[in-house]
Copies of this chain bind each other. A is one copy, B any other.
Amino acid sequence: MTSEQPDPAATTDEIRLLWSGHEPGPARRGPRPKLTRSEVVAAAVRLADAEGIEAVSMQRVAAALGYTTMSLYRYVDSKDDLLLLMSDAAMDTTPPGPREDGDWRAGLEEWCMGGVALYRAHPWMVRLSVTGPPSGPNGIRWMEAGLREICAPGLRPSEAVQMLLILTTVLRETLRMESDMQQAAHRHGQQISDNESDWVQGLLGVLDPGAFPTVTRVLGQLGTDEDEFGGLDLDSERVSGPAEGLGFGIDRILDGIEAYVGRRAAD
């Protein structure tokens, strides 16, 4: 566990940064830059994909490009800016949809699966602290796709934004736990599947059933016959771990939206 000290640029600055062109202007005075901001960001993304976000230091990124550390600061104001640009750059894929048949629920499920794929492709993304809703071009593209589906059943604007934010949050955080556990397991040479039950077994060995009756009962029943997940299988690869239940959770959130719009339509 490590802390972070987010120094979030004001939203306005953030937007300016993310939407400013990455390519060099036409003809400026000094020596022409040998790199572009996009190249720097791309190198950082490659590094993060390959070795994880903790490998992304200004030194490493510069070395990967064959330049000195300080040269990067000609393209990026700070490391925080670089990370911000990275997280938008990594979303440079086409989100699912649009769904033609108007089945908003299926559309949102597809959108979520797309998100899972995205986070699996760039596991480091879930480790960056998000300052707020998406602000970059690619993030907005994903938001557009998601909003298109979630607005279909007739949510009000604030409601749609809020629920979409919740969906991405749940996705993100669930996958972050999965990735944390994988890292921990890897570091200790264990299997991943062992790790979740490690938590359960470790707790059961420590907890006093008298003091925590519900927790001990519930943990004790996990994975027994009393227990079986219903719901959508978002995690097609069937990796065990927290993401196992992600589909169920998403399903319940969609249930909630459905119930709400149904109730409202009844009035």
Chain B residues with CB under 8 A of A113: none
**Chain A 169-194 per-residue mask, 1 if CB under 8 angstroms from chain B, else 0:** 11011101100110111011010000
Say whether A163 faces chain B, with CB atoms less than 8 Å apart: yes
**6 closest A-B pairs (Cβ-Cβ)?**
A256-B256, A5-B54, A252-B256, A162-B245, A255-B256, A15-B202
Knowing A147-B214, A169-B170 are in contact, say whether A227-B83 is a contact too (CB < 8 A). no
Least CB distance from A182 to B in Å reads: 10
Chain B residues with CB under 8 A of A80: 1-2
Q: Give the interface centre of A1, A52, A185 by most chain B CB atoms within 10 Å.
A: A1
Which residue on B lies nearest to A181, using beta carbons? B132
Which residue on B lies nearest to A180, using beta carbons? B131
Least CB distance from A251 to B in Å reads: 8
Least CB distance from A90 to B in Å reads: 13
Q: B12 contacts A7, CB within 8 Å?
A: no
Which residue on B lies nearest to A8, using beta carbons? B184
Say whether A36 faces chain B, with CB atoms less than 8 Å apart: no
Q: A252 contacts B163, CB within 8 Å?
A: yes
Say whether A130 faces chain B, with CB atoms less than 8 Å apart: yes
Stretch at the interface among A26-34, A61-69, A115-123, A257-265: A257-265
Least CB distance from A151 to B in Å reads: 6
Q: A203 contacts B135, CB within 8 Å?
A: yes
Other than A132-B242, A157-B226, give 7 A-B pairs with Cβ distance below 8 A.
A3-B128, A10-B188, A15-B206, A158-B227, A158-B229, A161-B222, A255-B255
